[in-house]
A and B are shown apart, each in its own frame.
Chain A
Amino acid sequence: MDFQMRKNYFIEKHFQIKYMLLTMLLLLVYSFIFIAIIFAPYMLTLYFNYPLVEKTEAARAILLLHAKVWPGISIVIVLFGAVSIFITHKIAGPLYRLKKSLSQVTEGNLNVVVKLRKWDDLQDLAEHVNILIGELRTFVTTLRNDYNLLSEYILELEHKIEIKMLTEESGREIINKVQESRKNIENALKKFKIQQ
């Protein structure tokens, strides 16, 4: 495992900006409800015919909140927007790595192992992808081995035909070997289901 900190916190711009916007929007809605609830009693006192003393108290409370609440809320929203970048980064990092690894696999490189950092999310997914790549690797190895064997048998057969040494017995022997390889390939293929 590689425990180094990532230097770039904007790995997946699309993904991270989208969730930053969503976080800020949610916070804005939340603050809205919060403010409405806090201000409501004071506003009601101002609206109805209460004695001047009570009205003054309510007015002072409203002005105090007016002065304190807005800067606080702006700071909180900006702060959480920034925090959401760090949080999404924990997901975006692994996603980026998985994407890169998978595109390498698509290009044909099956020696890829997805490694995530210790604090990253999606470890489980990375493990599954590693298992998948491992399975593909075994499959390709089986196919390659049997391909080599089959090539050998064909050469052998050609050679025997050339020197006219092909007896029924040796022919059957080669067919048996070919059957064995065929069975290996069949077993390897059995694992994969494709709709015909």
Chain B
Amino acid sequence: MQRRIKKKDTSLIRIILGSSGFTLLELLFAIIILMILIAIAYPIYNFYIDKANLTIATSTLDSVQKALESYHLDNNKYPEKIDFSNCKDDQNHSVFSSDFCDRIKKDLYSPVESYELDNNQGYILKARARDNKHTLFTLTVSNITKEGI
């Protein structure tokens, strides 16, 4: 008896099993439930984080579309080029306000992939969202299309 008390096993499993208070079964049960919950919740959680990123990208591109539309009203053309690091066109005029420029950098996967004029009729802007797959969005004068849809 004396020897059993003195000889201590310090492995983690022994610590959990070792004495009463709460038993192995209870702890195992709790851990299993937690694991199941995590296994169910993790993909759902990730799905919603991606969805949130995609929604934000859509919303930002929607605003970009409107901003380019107002640029078109002011200058009677779309900008030839946009430098997305400071949001200025080839003649060094601002295309977007500086706040909006920061928002674009924050909300889209930077740098913005490409911007080019489309036969002088409109433009094609390609940008990626900040989700896991970095989904590619294509913005034209009239619509926003998402890669794979």
**A contacts, CB < 8 Å to B:** 13-15, 17-19, 21-22, 25, 28-29, 32, 36, 39, 42-43, 46, 52-53, 55-56, 58-60, 62-63, 66, 103
Measured in the bound complex, the distance between the Cα atoms of B10 and A32 in whole Å is: 31
Closest-CB distance, B48 to chain A (whole angstroms): 5
B16 x A55 contact (CB < 8 A): no
Measured in the bound complex, the distance between the Cα atoms of B59 and A43 in whole Å is: 17
Complex contacts, B41 vs chain A, CB 8 Å = 32, 36
A62 x B18 contact (CB < 8 A): no
B19 x A46 contact (CB < 8 A): no
- Name the residue of chain A whose CB is nearest to the CB of B51: A46
B30 x A59 contact (CB < 8 A): no
Complex contacts, B97 vs chain A, CB 8 Å = none
Further 16 A-B residue pairs, CB within 8 A, beyond A18-B21, A25-B30, A46-B55: A13-B10, A17-B15, A18-B15, A18-B16, A21-B16, A32-B38, A36-B41, A39-B48, A52-B55, A52-B59, A55-B59, A56-B56, A58-B52, A59-B53, A63-B52, A66-B49
B52 x A46 contact (CB < 8 A): yes
Measured in the bound complex, the distance between the Cα atoms of B53 and A55 in whole Å is: 11
Measured in the bound complex, the distance between the Cα atoms of B8 and A128 in whole Å is: 28
A52 x B34 contact (CB < 8 A): no
Complex contacts, B19 vs chain A, CB 8 Å = 14-15, 18
